[in-house]
Amino acid sequence: RLGIGTGWNYVEYDSLNEDFTNRGKRQEEQVEVLRQLWDEPIVDFDGNWHRIDRAGLKPLPGRRIPIWFGGFSDPAFRRAARIGDGFVFGNGSPDARNTVETIRGYLDEEGRDPGSFGFEAMMNYGDGPENWAAEVERWRETGVDYVSMRTMNAGLESPRDHIEALERYWREVGG
């Protein structure tokens, strides 16, 4: 799957001389472009921000690539329900249960099957094994389908350290 978000830092958009205020609409167009490029051998596309003349990717993916959205605003929740395959919570989303219910309501409004849409939460390795199992359980009670472990900023120095951290999490909490 591909996880995407519009970003929250206007400075990133300013540095690229792009308009921060239209990032949601631009993201919608980019998803449309990606799906066409992944599905069709030759693409012609003329949108508000992107233009493609008879281009394609080779090889095409062997299956549909799910796109999961992240975000903290109602427009992000609506966008995910309208064109996404799932939603990824950032760490420590205090209103996660309400967000799940809100997105499920938007899925219903869009006539989409909530069972075909997933929810993922991210946990921090640095929170420690004494907290992992309880946090997983809290997320599951919220209605989240998947919980992933983030090892960034945990003081791990090598790729091997990150792999071993994930293995430790698996041993302590399981899938």
pLDDT, tens digit, 9 for 90 and up, residues 26-79: 999 999 999 999 999 999 999 999 999 999 999 999 999 999 999 989 999 999
Per-residue pLDDT for 91 more than 80? no
Q: Are residues 45 and 79 in the same domain?
A: no
Given this model, what pLDDT does residue 175 score? 60
Residues 97 and 128 in one domain: yes
145 and 175 part of one domain? yes
Whether residue 37 is found in the same domain as residue 74: no
Average pLDDT over residues 137-144: 90
Domain boundary among 65, 80, 96: 65
Q: How far is CA 90 from CA 3, 53, 154, in A?
A: 11, 37, 16
Q: What's residue 95's pLDDT? A: 84
In terms of domains, do 36 and 50 share one?
A: yes
Helix count and strand count (H, E) for the chain: 6, 7
pLDDT value at residue 90: 79
Residue where one domain finishes, among candidates 65, 86, 115? 65
- Note whether 70 and 90 are same-domain residues: yes
How would DSSP label each residue in 59-71?
Answer: SPPSSPPPEEEE-
Q: Which of 175, 116, 125 minimizes the C-alpha distance to 147?
A: 175
Of 112, 105, 111, 35, nearest in space to 77 by CA: 105
Residues 41, 90 share a domain: no
Split into its structural domains, the chain has a count of 2
Please report, rounded to a whole number, the percentage of residues in the chain having pLDDT higher than 70. 98
pLDDT of residue 92 exceeding 80, the answer is no
Residues 129 and 43 in one domain: no
Give yes or no for residue 174 having a pLDDT over 80: no
Across all residues in the chain, what is the average pLDDT? 92
- Region 82-105 average pLDDT: 89
Is 57 in the same domain as 71? no
Looking at residue 30, its pLDDT comes to: 96
- If asked whether residues 95 and 152 sit together in one domain, one would say yes
Spatial contact of 147 and 139, defined as CB atoms under 8 Å apart: yes
Query: 99 and 32: one domain?
Result: no
35, 116: one domain:
no
CATH of the domain at 109: 3.20.20.100
Kindly tell me if the per-residue pLDDT of 119 is higher than 80.
Answer: yes
Percent of the chain past pLDDT 90, that is, above it, reads: 73
Section 88-99 average pLDDT: 82
| Residue 146, φ and ψ in degrees, nearest 5 | -135, 145
Domain that holds residue 74: 66-175
